[in-house]
Structure 1
Amino acid sequence: MYYSGNILVIEIAKNEIGNKGGEKYWRWYGFNQRVNWCAIFLSWCANESGTINDTIPRFSLCTDGVKWYKDHSKWKNKSYIPQTGDIIFFDWNGDGHVQHVGIVEKVENDKVYTIEGNSKDEVRNKNYSLTNKSIYGYGSVN
């Protein structure tokens, strides 16, 4: 089942805004203790929408998500203008290694608006300039 732009995934993610600690997501994935859960959150949302492994893989490590999008020829570099539902990856340290991931809610006025799990240990809305140096690249859903 495919939803253009992952609209259902975004709606599910929106309903989780404010959830702290991420326990329901990492327990769903199979972990018995707290782990970094930004990727797991996206996998959970995709699973809830019935689209897991269609547009968003089941992954717990950001690096595995990047690999999945590259292996499926859906990887876009950071100069790409993302679309609603695309997956955004971040390299906070500027060291060429991805550390965080979220989903693109929209792009407006040269800003990308996201929903992210494990942002200060909760699900949050965020926004960034499209030229933000921490953006590593995107997984395209189209």
Structure 2
Amino acid sequence: MTTAVKYFLLIINNKKARNTIIGIVIGVIAAVLLLLMFTYESTQQNAAPIAEKAKEEYSFWQTHTPDSQNLSCQGERYCSYFKSSVTDWCCYFVGYCIQESGYETKDFGFAPGTIMWTNNLKELGKLKSADNYTPQVGNLIFFDYGGRSHYKATGNVDHIGIVVEVKDNSVTVIAGNEYNGQTSNWATVSYV
């Protein structure tokens, strides 16, 4: 018999040594499971600061006007952040919330237009379909005003917002530049 086999048999036959090894193995397994649980939890919640920033911005505009901020419209705040002239600003609003939450916009596929943005997310492997994904707080959400069938036919989207609440079978979204692309409209809206 080899020396390793002799030691193994001695350990197996020694109750105290056997229990110590079993305890160590169980402890290692528990530590790995705990680490996996926390890793899963943190990846599920890592976008929550983006939702919080969206809520802050929405609240800010409930008590301020563009004039009080020396802006031509609310959208100027977000467009100028990205050194862009004022345009339809839903993408700039979401990009602002991402960046101001401490994230890199490139990691979220940022683009100044929704079609380019979704194409970037497809390339990153991060675009999920509403057919098989339950939104989480902090997720970006895209809309096609023509409906899901129009999106499936064209692959084009018209609008982007940030999920700030998921409850029952609806999501609440905060988005800038709501209501037909007018440059100074805001909304927090629940969608089924």
Counterpart in the other structure of 2:134: 81
Which residue in 1 is equivalent to 2:53? 12
1:68, distance to aligned residue in structure 2 (A): 1.8
TM-superposed deviation, 1:54: 6.1
TM-score by length of structure 1 reads 0.79
Q: CA deviation at 1:41?
A: 0.5
SS in 1 for 2:128: strand
Aligned residues: 127
Q: 1:67 aligns with which of 115, 119, 126?
A: 119
Q: Deviations over 1:54-94 (max 9, x none)?
A: 65333210012111211111111121211111111000024
Q: How far apart in 2 are the matches of 1:51 and 1:119?
A: 24
CA distance in 1, matches of 2:187, 2:176: 7
Question: What are structure 1's unaligned runs of at least 5 residues?
Answer: 130-142
User: Larger radius of gyration, structure 1 or 2?
Assistant: 2
Higher strand share: 1
- Give how far 1:123 is off: 3.5
CA deviation digits over 1:41-60, x for unaligned, max 9? 01011111111236533321
Taking a change above 3 Å as real, the CA distance of residues 55 and 104 of structure 1, as seen in their structure-2 partners, is farther
2:189 pairs, out of 113, 118, 126, with 126
Q: Normalising by structure 2, what TM-score?
A: 0.60
CA contact (8 A) 1:42 1:56 kept: no
Distance 2:173 2:188 in 1: 6
Counterparts of 1:98 and 1:128, CA distance in 2:
16
Distance 1:8 1:55, change over 3 A: farther
Relative to structure 1, the CA distance from residue 44 to residue 74 in structure 2 (aligned partners, 3 Å threshold; closer, same or farther) is same
Alignment check: 8 A CA contact 1:6 1:55 kept: no
CA RMSD in angstroms, aligned pairs only:
2.1
Percent identity between the two aligned chains? 29
Change (3 A) 1:103 1:118: same
Pairwise CA distance, 1:39: 0.8
Question: Which one has a larger percent helix, Structure 1 or Structure 2?
Answer: 2
Higher RCO (CA 8 Å, separation ≥ 6 residues) = 1
Q: Matched residues in 2 for 1:6 and 1:127: separation?
A: 19
- Name the CA distance, whole Å, in 1 between partners of 2:44 and 2:54: 14
